[in-house]
Amino acid sequence: MSNQTKIAIVASQTSSAQQAMDAMAKKYGNVPVKDADVVVALGGDGFMLHTMHESLATDQRIFGMNYGSVGFMMNDFAEDGLIERLNAAEETRIHPLKLIAHHRRDGKNGIVGKAIAFNEVSLLRQTHQAAKLEIIIDGKTRLPELICDGIILSTPAGSTAYNLSAHGPILPIGSPLLALTPISAFRPRRWRGAILPHEAIVEINILESDKRPVSAVADHIEFRDIEKVHISEDKTRTVRLLFDPGHSLAERVLNEQFEF
C-alpha cells in the first residue's frame, strides 16, 4: 500500500468512535466503502462482525481498531502511522458458516430463512422448558436426544467468544475444524461436545418443538420457533482481516489459552 491507498473509515455509533473517525478522515481521507482498497473499522468486536458481513458484497480488506470494550478481533487504536501499519499488516482469511433454518407452517416444513455466521450458530431455548435436540452429522445420527439450554457450532474465529464461555475448546485460526458445544447439558449429563472437521454437515432436529420452542441465531440474525437447522461451512465466501505483525488473530487465539 502507499499514500495513494484509498481508505474508507467506518465507526460504531459511540461518540468517541465517531470523533476518532472524523479526525482520521481529515488526515487520511475517507472514500465511500465501495471505492476503497481497505476499510478501517473503529469500534468493538460487535461492530467488526457487522463490518465483516458488509464486506462480503465488496471484498475489501478490513483493518479494525479497538474503540469498544473487548476488541478481540481489533488492532490497538492509534491515529498516527496508519499507512505504515497497513503496509506491514498480515492478512487472515475467514470463511463463515451457512445456516438454513426451517419451521413448520400449515403442516409443511418451510424454510424460515438463511444467514451466515463468522463466529457461531447458536440454538437456544425460548422458554423455561429445556430444549430437546437430535444431532445428525453427515447424515448419521450421532446423538438421538440432547436435553440442554442450547448448543453452539463455532468457527475457529468464534471459538474464543460464546463457545469459550460455554466451556468449548479453543480452535487455532486456520485449523480445518469446527467446535460443537452444548450449553448446560442435562442429558447426557457428561457430554461436553465434539470437534468436527470443517467439511461436516450438521443437522439438528428440535424434538417436541411445540412444547420446547427453540430459536436459531447466526451471529446477530435470529430465527424463532425452529423445527430443524442445516449448518455447513460456506467456502464460496471469504473475508480478509488485517492485523499488525505479531498480533494476528492466530496469535491472539494462542494467547487466550495461556493468559489467566
* CB 37 within 8 Å of CB 61: yes
Q: Which three cell numbers stand for residue 72?
A: 478481540
Residue 158 CA to residue 135 CA, distance in Å, equals 21
* 3-state secondary structure at position 125: strand
Residues designated catalytic: 45
* CA nearest to 93, candidates 259, 250, 260, 257: 250
Secondary element (H or E) of residue 143: strand 140-148
Residue 80's beta-bridge partner residues? none
How many CA within 13 A on the CB side of residue 155? 26
SS3 content of the chain, % helix, strand, coil (to 5): 20, 40, 40
Residue 81 contacts by C-beta under 8 Å, 6 or more apart in sequence? none
Q: Which three cell numbers stand for residue 192?
A: 461436553
Residue 144 CA to residue 187 CA, distance in Å, equals 11
Characterize the bridge pairing of strands 239-243 and 61-66. Answer: parallel
* CB 249 within 8 Å of CB 257: no
